[in-house]
Amino acid sequence: MARAIEEFIGILQQGPSDAACVFNPWRDSDERDAAPRREMPARRRENMAAYLEARGKHARVMLLGEAPSHRGCRFTGIAFCSETELLQKRDLVARRGLSLTSREAGVKPQRERSAHVIWGEIERAGAPFSVVLWNAFPWHPYQPEEGGPLDGPCGPSSNRKPRLGEVAQGRAAFEALLACFTQPLAVFAVGKVAQDALSRWGGAECAGYLRHPAQGGEALFREQFRRLAAPRL
């Protein structure tokens, strides 16, 4: 299992073949990272390793989302997980404390609403190490600083939907991740991008569809998680 985790994290660190407007949490750093910046990607890799080690023999269900956000996985190295979860739900995330890597973590840890909703449901279900969180495109896609939307944020502090070609590159990481667990996982798609990815990739059956909790989907996600995913834990 240790070797599988090492190989998986190696795929993450290498990143996609086309890195235009993509931030790699496990390799890249910038001015938003804590000092010394160069060490933060390694700490995020360590976070991911500890997260997987806690689930290796216990995982039963995977929630597959779209892509990391600039407030969540970008700073923790763990999908659907912000620094707030590392602090407030420490014992649910891993069996040891994990690293905070944002520049302002000491005074204002990063928060993400979708992470808050999902971890609330994981806590309620009472089997945190039975759930694996992941994304169809594992790296953080962001809006270009030039030629992007006319309004709204751009650059690495923004989010965008991953392109089909990008999602296709997520397949190798997804398959390597599945090899990190001793039992097959029931994979639930969280949102349309993940549902489409599973259909295009083949090989992994979609156990069910859950509404993404963002953009008004929180209540429906909660209901569907409790009805469809929680009984499989």
- What pTM does this model have? 0.95
Distance CA 48, CA 214 (A): 24
Give the model confidence (pLDDT) of 127-166 as tens digits. Answer: 999 999 999 999 999 998 765 555 556 688 888 999 999 9
Closest CA to 93 of 112, 80, 109: 80
Give the model confidence (pLDDT) of 33-86 as tens digits. Answer: 999 999 999 999 999 999 999 999 999 999 999 999 999 999 999 999 999 999
Query: Please, how many CA atoms are within 13 Å of residue 16, restricted to the half-sphere of its CB?
Result: 26
Instruction: Out of 23-32, 76-85, 150-159, 202-211, pick the least confident.
Output: 150-159
CATH for 2-232 is: 3.40.470.10
Closest CA to 160 of 136, 135, 141, 139: 141
| Crossing angle (nearest 10°) for helices 164-178 and 2-14 | 160
Please state, rounded to an integer, the average pLDDT across all residues of the chain.
95
Q: Could you tell me which residue, 149 or 203, shows the higher pLDDT? A: 203
Distance CA 153, CA 38 (A): 25
Instruction: Out of 26-30, 113-117, 141-145, pick the least confident.
Output: 141-145
Domain residue limits, the chain = 2-232
